Amino acid sequence: MGALRIAILAVAAIAAIAVALLVRGMMAPTAPAPVAAAADAGRPLARVLVAKRDLPIGTRLTSADLGWQPWPADALNSSFITDGAAPAAPSKGAAKVAQAAGDLVTGQSQIDALEGAVVKEAIAAGEPITGHKIVRGGEGGYMAVVLQPGMRAVSVPMSSDTAAGGFILPGDRVDVLQSRDAGGDKGFITETLVTNVRVLAIDQKTAPDKDAKAIIGSVATLEVPAADAEVLVRGKAQGQMLMTLRAISDVGGPVGRSGRRSEQGVRVIRAGEVTEVAVP
């Protein structure tokens, strides 16, 4: 065998060994970073009361809705509810701490104290329970919870003809208009009573059914400023009221009568002729 052939075979063997070592290195599992593991293992943890599932507005809490979750002690917020135990460093990793957190030997009294409380701001699963998002039992029912300060809940009659064909749902914003007979030969007038008010409920439904696109109801409960409640009450006595649906991009304006301009346009229908009249 010539020297050239031996040299070629030697180079090929070395290349094959190098490729094998490279492939073996790529297939080997990557070991976790020892620094991060050490940092997690030595970080003190406390137990924080959290929601076990998504809790929409109006939910009455039960013990099944709440649970304890390990939480880094240095990330605790003063509004969080803890089990009262001193934070401890995990001895056998986060899994061991999570198992201990599921044992409700301590902290059950905090869960019992929240039994029957009503959620006034939506809480996501795993989110800590805080006092400003719930109202404890005995402090009011659903409507008293969801009403904003200074607002009142007022019901108005509705139908598919007077409520945008039934496409108005709880949570939407609407304007309330009234059309009534002006008396004599003055015809009918139409005016806006309140604008940009929130729909709290339709009949007794405070949220639409899953995938529902419309609700046909007979009564809508609206959230209006306290000073405007009498406007709707008087409007129900004077004539038919209609709700017009506002676009989601048009809900940031004034609420109630304050949403009006200094002059209000009134449409007068007389002997079949329609005229627009501006009134203060």
**CB–CB of 62/119 below 8 Å?**
no
Q: Which residue has the tokens 């064909």?
A: 165
Q: pLDDT tier at 129 (50, 70, 90 boundaries)?
A: very high
At 64-118, the pLDDT tens digits run 999 999 999 888 888 898 887 767 666 554 444 444 444 444 557 788 888 888 8
Q: pLDDT tier at 257 (50, 70, 90 boundaries)?
A: confident
Q: pLDDT tier at 268 (50, 70, 90 boundaries)?
A: low
**CB–CB of 196/225 below 8 Å?**
no
Distance CA 120, CA 88 (A): 33
Helices (H), 2-146: 3-27, 34-41, 94-101, 108-113, 142-146
pLDDT at 143: 78
pLDDT at 101: 45
* Tokens linked to 223: 């959230």
pLDDT at 277: 54
**CB–CB of 222/154 below 8 Å?**
yes
CB within 8 A of 16, min separation 6: which ones?
Answer: none
**CB–CB of 254/195 below 8 Å?**
yes
- pTM here is 0.53
Q: How far is residue 45 CA from its own chain's centroid?
A: 29
* Tokens linked to 172: 């939407």
CB within 8 A of 24, min separation 6: which ones?
Answer: none
pLDDT at 271: 61
Distance CA 43, CA 131 (A): 27
Strands (E), 139-218: 151-157, 173-181, 188-202
**CB–CB of 123/133 below 8 Å?**
yes
Whether 227 shows a pLDDT value over 80: the answer reads yes
Highest mean pLDDT among 6-20, 21-35, 117-131: 117-131
Burial category of 188 from C-beta neighbours within 10 Å (exposed 0-12, middle 13-18, buried 19 and up): middle
Q: pLDDT tier at 153 (50, 70, 90 boundaries)?
A: very high
- Mean pLDDT value across residues 135-156: 78
From residue 51, how far is each of 58, 99, 104, 114, 130 by CA, in Å? 14, 17, 15, 12, 10
Better-predicted residue by pLDDT, 38 or 221: 221
Choose the weakest-confidence range: 59-68, 82-91, 175-184.
82-91
